[in-house]
Amino acid sequence: MLLRTSVAFAVFVLVLRPGTVSECAQEPCTHIPHGSGESLEGFLHGGACQASNQGYIMRWSQYTFHTHAIAQGWCEHRSFPCPTCPCSPLQPPHDRNERDVISVGLGYYDPMWPTWLNPISPIYSSTPENHDLDSRIPGTSSPPPDGRGFTPYYVGRYALVQQSNLDPTACNMTPTTVQWSMALKSVDCLPTFRTQPNGTIIRVPNDATRVSIVAPFGPTHPITIAIEAAAKAWNAALVSWGESPIFDETAQTTLCTGSQGGHCVNVVIQHYPDAPLVCAAAERDPGGEDGIVDNNARIYIRPDYSTDPTYLRHLLSQELGHLLGLDDAVCGINSVMSGIAACNSLGTPPTVPSSPTPSDALPVADTSYGPGSRATCAGWAQ
Ligand SMILES: [Zn+2]
C-alpha cells in the first residue's frame, strides 16, 4: 500500500504544474551566521620598549600605537533560486561572506579628565581608518600601515582607546564593534622601586594612622622645619593624585615608641654606619611578605649638614621618598629622587628640586600603594 501511494503523488505533481520553477521557489532561503570571535588589541611601542597596561611612559617622547583586530565570523548566504531544491540547512551554501574588520578608531583621554578609566567614548574622537588585521605587519593594514604616532603632552594618567568596526556582511549580520583601552601614566621621570626579593615594594603604611617623623630638636630647628615642609609637600603631592596623606605634618618631639611600629621615623644627626660619606640615608626593616614596614624607621643626616632650608628640604623629601618605596633616580630637576653632585648644595642653579614633583608622587599613589604596574617605557626622543 505504501509504495502505491507514493507513486500516485508523484504523478499528480508532474501533471498539474509542468514547466514551472521548482516547488521550493517560495520558501525563504535563510542567512546563517557563524562565529563571533572578534578581538582587538593595542600596542604602544617606543624605541626598543613596549608599554604595558598601567605602566609608565616618558612625557614628550614619541610612541607608535599599533592595533591588531580580528573578525572570525562568516555568513552563509542562500539566495533565490536555491542551487538545488529544496532549501535546507543541510545543503551547501550558495554564497559565503566573510566578516572583516573594516575600520579602527583611535582616541585618548586627556589626563585632566577624571573619567579616564572609562573605556568608551573617547573625548577626542578620530576618523576611523581602515585597518586589516595587524598594523605591526607591513602590508596588512591601510592606512596607516605603520601604526599611528602618539606623544603624551601632560604628566598624568592617559587612557588610549580603540574601537573596531566589523563588516556586517552582505547577508545582514548585525554590525558589531569591539572596544579596548590601555591605561598609561605619563611622567617626567620613570620610577624605580625599592623591593623585597619576593617583589613587594618596601614602604611605610598608609592607613588611618599617619606616619610620624621625630625631630627632638625644637620647633625652630632647621631640620624640624625641613621635616615638616617635606611631609607637607609629599602629602599635598599624593593627595593631588587621589592618595591619602601619609605623613604627620607636625614633627613628633619624643622618640618613636615600639608600639608605633612602621608609623614612626626617628631622625638622627650622625653618619650612616653602612656608608658614612652619604649626605643622608633612610633605614627601615624590609617589611615582611607584604613589604609594609613593621618597625620604627630611621633617617640619618650627616653631622656637617648645611642649614640651607632648600637643601634640607630636598634631603628630607628624598629620604621620605625612599620610605614610600622609591629608589634613587637620575632625572635632574624632574625628580626629588635625583642625586646631587656633592653634599650641602643643590647646585647653582639647582640641578634637583627641593620638593617631590608630580612625577614622583604619581608612581607612589598608583604603584607603591595601588595596583599600578612597575613597567616603564622610555619611547623615542623628540
Ligand atoms: Zn637616595
Question: 191: pLDDT confidence band, cut at 50, 70 and 90?
Answer: very high
- Rounded to whole angstroms, the Cα distance separating 363 from 329 reads 13
Of 114-118, 368-372, 377-381, the one with minimum mean pLDDT is 114-118
Residues in the chain: 382
Per-residue model confidence as pLDDT tens digits over 57-78 = 999 999 988 888 887 777 776 6
- Rounded to whole angstroms, the Cα distance separating 244 from 335 reads 21
Where is pLDDT greater, at 144 or 94?
Answer: 94
- How many angstroms is it from 256 CA to the middle of ligand 1? 23
Question: 120: pLDDT confidence band, cut at 50, 70 and 90?
Answer: very low
Instruction: Over range 375-379, report the average pLDDT.
Output: 96
- How many angstroms is it from 318 CA to the middle of ligand 1? 6
Task: Give the position of cell 595601588.
Answer: 370
pLDDT the model gives residue 145: 56
Please report how many Cα atoms fall inside a 13 Å half-sphere around the Cα of residue 258, on the Cβ side. Answer: 0
Where is pLDDT greater, at 84 or 365?
Answer: 365
- Rounded to whole angstroms, the Cα distance separating 325 from 362 reads 12
Question: 19: pLDDT confidence band, cut at 50, 70 and 90?
Answer: very low
- How many angstroms is it from 327 CA to the middle of ligand 1? 7
- Rounded to whole angstroms, the Cα distance separating 248 from 251 reads 7
Per-residue model confidence as pLDDT tens digits over 286-312 = 999 999 999 999 999 999 999 999 999
Tell me the CA distances in angstroms from 45 to 19, 109, 188, 261, 377, one per residue in order: 67, 18, 18, 44, 8
Q: Which among 380, 319, 321 is positioned nearest to 192, based on CA atoms?
A: 321
Instruction: Over range 370-378, report the average pLDDT.
Output: 95
- How many angstroms is it from 322 CA to the middle of ligand 1? 7
pLDDT the model gives residue 372: 93
Of 45-49, 141-145, 157-161, the one with minimum mean pLDDT is 141-145
Q: Contact 67/106 with Cβ under 8 angstroms?
A: yes
- How many angstroms is it from 240 CA to the middle of ligand 1? 23
Mean pLDDT, the chain, whole residue set: 82
Torsion of CA 266, 270, 276, 277, to 10 degrees: 100
- How many angstroms is it from 365 CA to the middle of ligand 1? 19
* pLDDT > 70 fraction of the chain, expressed in percent and rounded: 76
Question: 259: pLDDT confidence band, cut at 50, 70 and 90?
Answer: very high
* pLDDT > 90 fraction of the chain, expressed in percent and rounded: 55
What lies within 8 Å, CB to CB, of 130 at 6+ separation is 102, 103, 104, 141, 142, 143
Q: Looking at the predicted structure, is the pLDDT value of residue 15 above 80?
A: no
* CB-based neighbours (< 5 A) of ligand 1, an ion: 328
- How many angstroms is it from 24 CA to the middle of ligand 1? 84
Evaluate the omega torsion of the peptide bond into residue 144 and state whether it is cis, within 30 degrees of 0: yes
Stretch (H or E) spanning 186: strand 177-187
DSSP for 234-255 reads: HHHHHHHTTPPP-B-SS-BSSP
- How many angstroms is it from 228 CA to the middle of ligand 1? 19
- Residue 292 grid coordinates: 609594609
Where is pLDDT greater, at 123 or 297?
Answer: 297
Per-residue model confidence as pLDDT tens digits over 211-250 = 999 999 999 999 999 999 999 999 999 999 989 999 999 9
